[in-house]
Amino acid sequence: MFSLENKKVAITGAGSGIGEAIALLFAAHGAEVHIIDLNEHQANATVAEIKQNQGQATAYLCDVSNQQSVLAVFDKIGAVDILINNAGIAHIGKADTTPEADFDRVMSVIVKGAYNCIFAAIPKLRESGGGVIVNMSSVAALSGISDRFVYSTAKGAIRSMTMSVAKDYIGENIRCNSISPARVHTPFVDGFLQKNYPDNIEEMFDKLSKTQPIGRMARPEEIATLALYLCSDEAAFITGADYPIDGGFTTLNN
């Protein structure tokens, strides 16, 4: 089950965190992995780990908000079977405390970046006779989260984008779904705590963990496992769906 043998996969933001976990898991299940990332060092490290385990992987330095760069990368990759839109950046602020430059930056990476990759990937998916797109949304698209105005806005757009793409390409054997995680323990979380709460990291980590009713953050590997299922043939009947993976955040936080 869940074999990705002979599948070519493009994953954005796979140099660390959730994207890295997806890249490693997909490679372990037989996929040829193509990593698209702005951090060349991290992307190459993921590739090296995959190859160390006898997998197939290639890294591409690319700013997903630049359509010409994205198109050039997909021309190098060629026909693909799976696209994972995972690249993103975070921002803390309310509507009246979010500078225009920060608003544009977050929307450009998360929303335009996903659009650019879908725009570039659709012809490549057609070459393969169809395939799968998975977009990384967030519980921020489903529930109100304090001080996450533009991030929530961007992730809400990702969820809507997913439904639109699923409907438009269902007749071409292209499925599109989204995943909406709650907090995931990634290097970004550790860096955020180190920067903003250097004197009480453990206390803040515990506080953030307990915002999920299950009492902890998700592991990147748990998100990757859901992505694997959605991209496998076992999920062939699933399209136009969003999957919260949130430790009860959206349903039990009453």
Domain boundaries, the chain: 8-182+219-247, 183-217
Q: What is the pLDDT of residues 48-58, one digit of tens each?
A: 999 999 999 99
Distance CA 121, CA 194 (A): 37
CATH class of 8-182+219-247: alpha beta
Tokens at 150, concatenated:
């533009």
Tokens at 188, concatenated:
């970004």
H-helix or E-strand spanning residue 28: helix 17-28
* Residue partners of 234: CB distance under 8 A and separation at least 6: 1, 2
Catalytic residue check, 151: yes
- Residue 5 confidence class, pLDDT cut points 50, 70, 90: very high
Contact between 8 and 32 under an 8 Å Cβ cutoff? The reply is yes
Burial of 163 (0-12, 13-18, 19+ CB in 10 A): middle
Q: What confidence score (pLDDT) does residue 254 get?
A: 62
For the chain, give the longest Cα–Cα distance.
Answer: 55
Which of 115, 151, 169, 243 is labelled catalytic?
Answer: 151
Percent of the chain with pLDDT over 70: 100
